[in-house]
Structure formats: C-alpha cells, structure tokens
C-alpha cells in the first residue's frame, strides 16, 4: 500500500546536525513533489520545505532557510532533510508528505507517521 516511513530523528544539542529520511513505497515516487512539515509539541502544523518531483526546484520556510536542505534520491525512493545549526525551536515531530500533483505544490495526500527531533543540551 501507499506508505511513507520517516527515520533519523533523535536528541541533538543546539548547533548540531541531523539527517532525516523518508522511505516511500506503493506509488511512483519519482513522479511527485514531496514536502516536509513539522509540528512542535502541542502546537499546530508548519510547512518546512518542498522539492519538485525531479529535484530541480526546492523551496523553504524562512525559519529554516540556509540551515535545512531538502533532497531526494529517486533511485532509492527516498526523501531527505539535512538539518544543520539546529535550535531549540526546531524541536518538533517532522512529517514527510506526498504532494497530490506531479508538477507543482498542491495538497498533501499521504503523510508519514512522523519522527521526533529534540534539540536540547
């Protein structure tokens, strides 16, 4: 079935780095744009980043621009989020999500289960 499985979360000190992965299955991964969305504990949803189906375009929220990098390996059906210079305010559950369309960004029709990132000393 269609599935997204995130991994790579954990506890990291302020200023540290983490790389999240999202393994996709059950659909043609290389045909769809992909997003990262996060949710701080007890808070609402915040869009983080988007990458086009072919990796040619990437967009970021201002809060992570210059620190986070979204990428994908279509040969491995995997989405990544490299997070550097982490701050306490980056503490959140990070979800990967599939875009509903192929060309641009639209809605997130499939979500992973999320992976928790805690930035703390």
Partner 1 sequence: DIVMTQTPLSLSVTPGQPASISCKSSQSLLHSDGKTYLYWYLQKPGQSPQLLIYEVSNRFSGVPDRFSGSGSGTDFTLKISRVEAEDVGVYYCMQSIQLPITFGQGTRLEIK
The site for partner 1 (CB under 8 A) is made up of 35, 37, 44-47, 50, 59, 61-62, 95, 100, 105-109, 111-114
Contact of 92 with 117, CB cutoff 8 Å: yes
* Displacement of CA 117 from its chain's centroid (Å): 12
Shortest distance (Å) from residue 24 CB to partner 1: 15
Shortest distance (Å) from residue 80 CB to partner 1: 19
Question: Residue 10: left (phi > 0), alpha (psi -120 to 50), or beta?
Answer: left
* C-beta of 46 vs 55, nearer to partner 1: 46
* C-beta of 23 vs 45, nearer to partner 1: 45
């Amino acid at each position: 079935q269609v599935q997204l499985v995130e991994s790579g979360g954990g506890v990291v000190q302020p200023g540290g780095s983490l790389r999240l992965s999202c393994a996709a299955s059950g659909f043609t991964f290389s045909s769809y744009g992909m997003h990262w969305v996060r949710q701080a504990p007890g808070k609402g949803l915040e869009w983080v980043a988007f990458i086009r189906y072919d990796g040619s375009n990437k967009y970021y929220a201002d809060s992570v621009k210059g620190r986070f990098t979204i990428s994908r390996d279509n040969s491995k059906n995997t989405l990544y989020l490299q997070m550097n210079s982490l701050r306490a305010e980056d503490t959140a559950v990070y979800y990967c999500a599939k875009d509903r369309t192929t060309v641009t960004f639209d809605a997130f029709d499939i979500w992973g289960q999320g992976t928790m990132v805690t930035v703390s000393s």
